[in-house]
Amino acid sequence: MMQHLIVFPVVLPLVAGILLLYQRQGLVRYKRTVSVTATVLLLLVAIGLLRQAAGGEITYYALGDWQAPFGIVLVLDRLSALMLLLTAVLAVGAVVFACAGDDEKGSNFHGLFQWQLLGINGAFLTGDLFNLFVFFEVLLLASYALLLHGGGKARIQASVHYVVLNLAGSSLFLIAVGILYGATGTLNMADMAIRVAELPAEREGLVTAGALMLLVVFGLKAAILPLYFWLPKAYASAPAPVAALFAIMTKVGIYAILRVYSLIFGDSAGGLEALEQPWVWWLSLATLAAAGIGVLAARDLRLLVAYLVLVSVGTLLAGIGMRSPQAVSALLYYLIHTTLITGGLFLLAEMIGLQRGKAGTRIVKGRPMVQGTALAMLFFVGAIAVAGIPPFSGAFGKALMLNAAEGNQRLWLWPLLLLTSLASLIALSRAGSTLFWRSHRGTISGTPLSRCQWFGVIWLLSAAPLLVAMAGPVSSYTQATAEQLATPQVLIRTLLPDAGDAQ
Amino acid sequence: MELLYAMTTGVLTASGLYLTLRGRTFPVVVGLTLLSYAVNLFLFSMGGLTTDGAAIVSEGTGYADPLPQALVLTAIVIGFAMTAFVVILAMRARSEMGNDHVDGKKEDRE
C-alpha cells in the first residue's frame, strides 16, 4: 500500500472529479461532501508523502511497471512532497470557503476544482518532460473554466487574454520539448540530464535554444516581467476561492524552473551549466520593481493582492537566480509563506467586499461593516505578514532571502527587495485605513459572514504565526531540500540504476 | 522532402504568429490553430524523418521512431480541446461585450 501512495495525489482528485461529474445539477450537499472529503484526504496523503520523503530517500512510481527511461514515472523527493502538502493545505482553505455559496454560482465548481488539483499535483510529481506538458494542460484547462465560473464581463475579458496567452505558451512548450527530444533523444528528465552531460559540442546550440524556450514558457506560468501582464486582471476578477487556489499556479512555474534547471542543467551539464541564471536573476529584479509600482498604483483591494503575488514571484525568482543551496532554501521557506498568505488575502478581500455592499473591494470610502473589527484584525495580520514586518513569517522569509545574497548580489537585491516591501507596506496601510476607518456615518452594511468563510481565511492566515513558531523544523526541511536539489546525481541514480556509472 | 517539410512548418508558424498578433478574436483563433498544426509537424520531424520505415519494430528493416508519433497524437487531442474551448470563449466574449476585439473595446480608428 505504501509504495502506491505516490500515485494517490493524482488518482484521488481524478476519482473525486468523476464522482462530481455524475451529479451536476442540484444536490449541493452531496457535491460539497465529496469535494471537501477528497481534499482533506489529499491533505492526509500529502502529510504521509512528506514523512516518506523527509528522510531524504527518493522514491518513484513506475506507471504500468515500465521502468525509466522508457516508461512514465512519478518521482517523489523532498521538493515535490513539500509542494504537494502546500497545495493540499491551500486547497482545504479554498474549498471550504467556496462551500459558503461561491460554488453555486456556476455549474460543476467542485469537479473543476478537483481536476485543477489533479493537474497541479501531477505537475509536481512527474519525472518526464512531456508529462509535465500534459499536466500543465490539465491544470490550465481546469483553470480556464474556473476563471469563468460565475460569468460576467470582467471575467470574460480577462479570460480571453489568459487563455490566448497560455495557448501560445503551450505551443512554445511543445516546440521546446520537441527540440530537446530531437537533440537528446529522451524525454525523461533524469535521462536527459545524463545525455546533456555527454552532449556533442555541435548540439549545444540546439539544446540551449530548447532550454531557453522552456524558460519562456515557465516564465509565462510564473509571471515574470515581460510575461506577467495577464496576471493582475485575471486574478482580480476570478472568484475568490479560485483566486486563492491560483496562488499556487505561479508557483508551479517557479517549481518547474527550479526542477528543470537544477536537474537537467545542473552542475554536471558542462558548457550548459546555469544557462538560465543571468536571465532569471535580472528579470526577477525587474519583476520586483514593476510589481512594487503596481502595488502602489492599485486602486482595488483584489488588484493589490494580485500585485503582491507578483512581488512574491520576483522575490522567489531572485532566489533561483542566486543559485546557491542557501538561496534555494530561503526561497522555499518564502514560497510556503507567500502562497498561503496571498491565498488567504484573496479570500479576505472577498469577505470585505461582501460586507461593504456597493463599494465592494474598491479602496474608497464606504459604509461601515457589520463584522468590521474581526475583518480588520485578520487584515492586519495578513498585511503585516505579506509586507514582511516582524513578528510574522514574511519578515523571517525576507531575512533569509537577504541573508542568502552574496557579494555583488546584495547590491541589487537588498535595495530592491526592501523598497518593494516598503511600497507594499504603504499600499496596504493606505488600503486598510481607507477600508476600515474612513467610512460614512450611517447604516451598517452587510450580513454576517458564514462560518465556512471564516474558517477558510483563518486556516490560511494562521500560517503567518505558525511558520514563525515552527521556523526551526521548516527551515531545516527546506535546507535539506536545497541540498537534495544541489545533488541531482542521487535522483538520477535512483531512477536509472544502470546509468549510475556514467555520472 | 526535408526542405519542403521545413518550409511548410516555417510558413505555418509564421502565418500562425502573424494571425495570433491580430486584434480580433477570429484571426487569433485561426492563428492559434495554425500554430498548433505547425507544432505538430515540428514534433513529428524531431524524431527524424524516415521513408519506408516500419511503424513497429521489426527485424532487419529500419523503423520509424514511435515516440514522436505518440507525442503528436497527445498534442493533437489536447490541441483540439483547447481550440474548441477558445472558440466558445471567443463567442461568449463577442456576445457579452458586443464586439470581437480581444481587449473587449472598439478601437477609435475603426
pLDDT in tens, A309-350: 999 999 999 988 888 889 999 999 999 999 999 999 999 999
Residue whose C-alpha is closest to residue B6's, from A408, A120, A200, A182: A182
Cross-chain residue pair A130–B28, CB shorter than 8 Å: no
CB-nearest to A164 from B32, B48, B81 is B32
For chain A, give the percent of residues with pLDDT over 70.
98
User: In this predicted structure, what is the pLDDT of residue A436?
Assistant: 86
Cross-chain residue pair A156–B46, CB shorter than 8 Å: no
A44 — pLDDT class (breaks 50, 70, 90): very high
In this structure, of A14-28, A100-114, A424-438, A465-479, the range with the lowest mean pLDDT score is A14-28
CB-nearest to B92 from A137, A156, A164 is A156
Cross-chain residue pair A187–B86, CB shorter than 8 Å: no
Tens of pLDDT, residues A211-223: 999 999 999 998 8
CB distance from B22 to chain A under 8 Å? Answer: no
Cross-chain residue pair B46–A181, CB shorter than 8 Å: yes
**Residue-by-residue pLDDT tens, chain B, 110 positions:** 889 999 999 999 999 999 999 988 899 999 999 999 999 999 988 877 777 777 666 666 677 778 888 889 999 999 888 999 999 999 988 888 888 888 877 654 44
Name residue A258's amino acid: L
CB-nearest to A160 from B25, B39, B46 is B25
Per-residue pLDDT at A440 exceeds 50: yes
CA-CA distance, A211 to A194, in Å (whole number)?
15
CB distance from A71 to chain B under 8 Å? Answer: no
CA-CA distance, A236 to A243, in Å (whole number)?
7
Q: How far apart are the CA of B86 and the nearest CA of chain A, in angstroms?
A: 7
Sequence-ordered list of residues with C-beta below 8 angstroms from that of A472, at least 6 positions apart, any chain: none
Cross-chain residue pair A141–B20, CB shorter than 8 Å: no
Per-residue pLDDT at A500 exceeds 80: no
Per-residue pLDDT at A409 exceeds 80: yes
- In chain B, the N- to C-terminal Cα span, in Å, equals 44
User: In this predicted structure, what is the pLDDT of residue B33?
Assistant: 93
Q: Which residues of chain B lie closer than 8 angstroms to A161, CB-CB? A: 102
Q: How far apart are the CA of B29 and the nearest CA of chain A, in angstroms?
A: 8
- Helix, strand or coil, per DSSP, at residue A199: coil
User: In this predicted structure, what is the pLDDT of residue A22?
Assistant: 78
Q: Which residues of chain B lie closer than 8 angstroms to A143, CB-CB? A: none
A200 — pLDDT class (breaks 50, 70, 90): confident
Cross-chain residue pair A163–B86, CB shorter than 8 Å: yes
User: In this predicted structure, what is the pLDDT of residue A201?
Assistant: 83
For residue A16, give the C-alpha cell: 473525486
Mutation site for B-interface testing, chosen from A128, A164, A180 by largest number of B Cβ within 10 Å: A164
Mutation site for A-interface testing, chosen from B21, B50, B73, B82 by largest number of A Cβ within 10 Å: B82
CB distance from A167 to chain B under 8 Å? Answer: yes
pLDDT, average across residues A53-61: 88
CB-nearest to B96 from A156, A171, A187 is A156
Per-residue pLDDT at A503 exceeds 50: no
Phi/psi for B24 (5° steps) reads -110, 155
**Cα dist. A162→A144, A221, A232, B65, B82 in Å?**
8, 10, 11, 35, 13
User: In this predicted structure, what is the pLDDT of residue A267?
Assistant: 76
Name residue A403's amino acid: N
Instruction: Write the DSSP symbol of residue B42.
Output: H
Whole-number average pLDDT of chain A: 88
CB distance from A179 to chain B under 8 Å? Answer: yes
Per-residue pLDDT at A268 exceeds 80: no
CB-nearest to B39 from A163, A164, A175 is A175
CB-nearest to B39 from A130, A157, A174 is A174
Q: How far apart are the CA of B97 and the nearest CA of chain A, in angstroms?
A: 7
Phi/psi for A338 (5° steps) reads -70, -35
User: In this predicted structure, what is the pLDDT of residue A502?
Assistant: 46
Bigger pLDDT: A284 or B1? Answer: A284
CB distance from B30 to chain A under 8 Å? Answer: no
ipTM: 0.91
Q: Which residues of chain A lie closer than 8 angstroms to B74, CB-CB? A: 130, 134
Q: Which residues of chain B lie closer than 8 angstroms to A170, CB-CB? A: 78, 82
- Of all residues in chain A, the one with the smallest CA distance to B25 is A160
Cross-chain residue pair B39–A157, CB shorter than 8 Å: no
Q: Using H for helix, E for strand and C for coil, what is the string for A338-379?
A: HHHHHHHHHHHHHHHHHHCHHHCCECCCECCECCHHHHHHHH
User: In this predicted structure, what is the pLDDT of residue A25?
Assistant: 63
How buried is B24 (Cβ within 10 angstroms: 0-12 exposed, 13-18 middle, 19+ buried)? middle
Cross-chain residue pair A168–B35, CB shorter than 8 Å: yes
User: In this predicted structure, what is the pLDDT of residue A134?
Assistant: 92
CB distance from B77 to chain A under 8 Å? Answer: no
Q: How far apart are the CA of A347 and the nearest CA of chain B, in angstroms?
A: 26
CB A33 within 8 A of CB A123: no
Per-position DSSP letters for A58-118, written without gaps between them? -EEEEGGGPPTTTS-EEEE-HHHHHHHHHHHHHHHHHHHHHTTTGGGSSS-HHHHHHHHHH
Q: Tell whether omega for the bond before A69 is within 30 degrees of 0, i.e. cis.
A: yes
pLDDT, average across residues A72-81: 91
Which uninterrupted H or E stretch holds A304? helix A301-322
Bigger pLDDT: A122 or B108? Answer: A122
CB-nearest to A159 from B28, B78, B89 is B89
